[in-house]
Structure 1
Amino acid sequence: MIYIYNDFGGTHTTALAAAYHLKKLNETHEPSKNEILNTHNFNKLVYKDRGKFYFHGKDEDGNKVYTMGRGRSKILVPGIFNLIDMLIEEATLDEKIILSNTSPTVPFSMTCGGMLSRWLKIDFIGVPLLVVGAKQAYQDIINLVHHTKQVAKNSNSQLIMLDNKDFK
């Protein structure tokens, strides 16, 4: 099975979701500033990285976990979904794939911090806002990861796209 967490930039909630999924971040407490900033790819990706898949590791069941930023595109994730669906129909791909949108977990402070840090390069303001946002959102991100895993486990579909808009 392959999990692909996606959002606008692919560098904040997706990175945290992958870390929680892989148990690299402890679910029992709010993450520290150091834990957040040392999460793989957290606040590291830039505009040209959108649309790329980033491998974060394999979970306890051997499932691969990836992240991706989609930018403003409304067609990237559906396009990927359709490509995967075609590969399944052609019997070229036999792996179960779950695309899970982490955007509903993004608090306003993280949106502002991401814009300031990634777009405007004002890290001294943006990064603290990102840390505040990550701390605000950590339980929502954990819940989204659990929801994603549960849907994947209980579904007979080989391809699942979760927009998670009604998640909260």
Structure 2
Amino acid sequence: MLFIYNDFAGTHTTVLAAAYHLQKLDPTREPTREEILACHNFNKLAFSDRGKLYFHGIDEDGNKVYTMGRGISTILVPGIYNLIDMLIEEKAINEKIILSDTSPTVPFRMRCGGLLSLWMKIDVLGVPLLVAGARQAYQVIAQLVRHTKNTANTTTSQLVMLENKQFK
């Protein structure tokens, strides 16, 4: 099975979701600044990285976990969904694939921090806001990951796209 966590930048909540999914972060407690900043690709991707899939690891059940930023595009994820669906119909893909949107979990602090750090290159202000936002949202992100895994384990569909609007 493949899990693909996606949002606008692909470098904050997606990265945290991948870390919770892979048990690199403990979902039962607030992560430290060091743990957040040590997450693979946290606050490290650029605008040109949108649309690329980044591999984060293999979970305890042997499933691959990826992240992706989609930018402002409203068609990228549905386009990927349709491409995967066609490949499934053509028997070119045999794995179950779960696309999970993490953007509903992004708190205001993280939005501001991303704007300051990624777009304006003011890390001295942006990074503390990103860390505060990550700490604020850790329970919701961990809950989204549990929901994503549960859906994957209970659905009979080979391809699922989760918008996760209930996490707003």
2:121 paired residue number: 121
TM-score for both structures, normalised by structure 2: 0.99
2:82 paired residue number: 82
Could you tell me how far 1:38 is from its partner in structure 2? 0.6
User: How many Å separate the matches in 1 of 2:95 and 2:111?
Assistant: 34
2:28 alignment partner, SS class: coil
TM-score for both structures, normalised by structure 1: 0.99
Q: Considering only aligned residues, what root-mean-square deviation do their CA atoms show, in Å?
A: 0.6
1:88-131 superposed Cα distances (whole Å, 9 cap, x missing partner): 00011010000000000000000000000000000000000000
2:167 alignment partner, SS class: coil
1:61-95 superposed Cα distances (whole Å, 9 cap, x missing partner): 00000000000000000000000000000011010
User: How many Å separate the matches in 2 of 1:140 and 1:59?
Assistant: 20
4+ residue runs of structure 1 moved beyond 2 angstroms? none
Q: Kindly, what percent of the aligned residue pairs are identical?
A: 71
1:5 paired residue number: 5
User: How many Å separate the matches in 2 of 1:74 and 1:143?
Assistant: 25
Aligned residue pairs, count:
168
User: How many Å separate the matches in 2 of 1:150 and 1:28?
Assistant: 18
Could you tell me how far 1:166 is from its partner in structure 2? 2.1
1:56 alignment partner, SS class: strand
The aligned runs of 1:13-92 (5 Å cut-off) are 13-92=13-92
| Unmatched tracts of structure 1, length 5 or more | none
The code of the aligned residue for 1:118 comes to L
User: How many Å separate the matches in 2 of 1:31 and 1:167?
Assistant: 19
1:105 paired residue number: 105
1:141-161 superposed Cα distances (whole Å, 9 cap, x missing partner): 000000000001000000000
